[in-house]
A and B are shown apart, each in its own frame.
Chain A
Amino acid sequence: AQKITQTQPGMFVQEKEAVTLDCTYDTSDPSYGLFWYKQPSSGEMIFLIYQGSYDQQNATEGRYSLNFQKARKSANLVISASQLGDSAMYFCAMRPYSSASKIIFGSGTRLSIRP
């Protein structure tokens, strides 16, 4: 079965601290993409970062980095120096090649940044 698991329903972090949001995935496809999306309270779905299954290096985009551990099937999102504006729902998602017509989403982690 193709599945994304996010085990942290909610997290509280102090401003300026780094935070890691956990994500594990399950697929038998050798080719797949992994992404993270941010959904603030306003509702839009904002693309943050992408990692391809064949990429040798971990993806980084500004303060976001994706800790990709293929053997463990994990794709954790790391946010460095968190800001108040980072408070939102975060979704891990996957797109296996064999079913690329559908994006598979995790249940999300609600991140709250404390001032």
Chain B
Amino acid sequence: EAQVTQNPRYLITVTGKKLTVTCSQNMNHEYMSWYRQDPGLGLRQIYYSMNVEVTDKGDVPEGYKVSRKEKRNFPLILESPSPNQTSLYFCASSLIGTGEAFFGQGTRLTVV
């Protein structure tokens, strides 16, 4: 089954404790991206990648890191999480171009 898989689905952590949210897709897509969704602010792009070893900042990259060492994986790293990073996070993947993107199940992160 074609899918984007994020882990974990839910995470509660403490301020400053490094964490990684994993994202994996099995559709051989070049494009992958991370978004966060907050009430009243909608979906905002954090980082994206157009291919292996090619990553770039989105609209709200501060406090996040990413890497794209393999085509299928695009982990999101929070080196020192803060409460303002409490949010619902989505990973998405697609072919390059104007076509539809497929989203993971979402990761609900709470930083206390």
Contacts from A to B (Cβ < 8 Å) = 31-33, 35, 37, 43-47, 50, 52-53, 91, 95-97, 100-103, 105-108
Taking the closest CB of chain A, its distance from the CB of B35, in whole angstroms, is 8
Residue contact B42 to A97, C-beta cutoff 8 Å: no
How many residues from B make CB contacts under 8 Å with A? 26
Q: Does B88 contact A (CB under 8 A)?
A: yes
Chain A residues closer than 8 Å to B48, beta-carbon distance: 101-102
Residue contact A100 to B96, C-beta cutoff 8 Å: yes
9 chain-A/chain-B pairs, Cβ below 8 angstroms:
A32-B98, A35-B100, A45-B92, A45-B103, A47-B102, A91-B43, A95-B99, A96-B98, A105-B43
Q: Does B67 contact A (CB under 8 A)?
A: no
Per-residue CB contact flags for chain B residues 84-106 toward chain A (1 = under 8 Å, else 0) read: 00001010100011111111111
9 shortest A-B CB distances, which residue pairs? A33-B98, A45-B103, A50-B100, A105-B43, A43-B106, A95-B98, A44-B105, A35-B100, A102-B45
Chain B residues closer than 8 Å to A91, beta-carbon distance: 43
* Residue of A whose beta carbon sits closest to that of B10: A43
Contacts from B to A (Cβ < 8 Å) = 31, 33, 35, 42-43, 45, 48, 50, 56, 58-59, 88, 90, 92, 96-106, 108
Complex Cα spacing A44 to B102, Å:
11
Complex Cα spacing A58 to B48, Å:
30
Chain A residues closer than 8 Å to B100, beta-carbon distance: 33, 35, 47, 50
Residue contact A108 to B106, C-beta cutoff 8 Å: no
Residue contact B31 to A44, C-beta cutoff 8 Å: no
Chain B residues closer than 8 Å to A53, beta-carbon distance: 98
Complex Cα spacing A100 to B56, Å:
13
Determine which of A52, A103, A106, A107 lies in contact with B92 in the assembled complex, contact meaning CB atoms within 8 Å.
A103
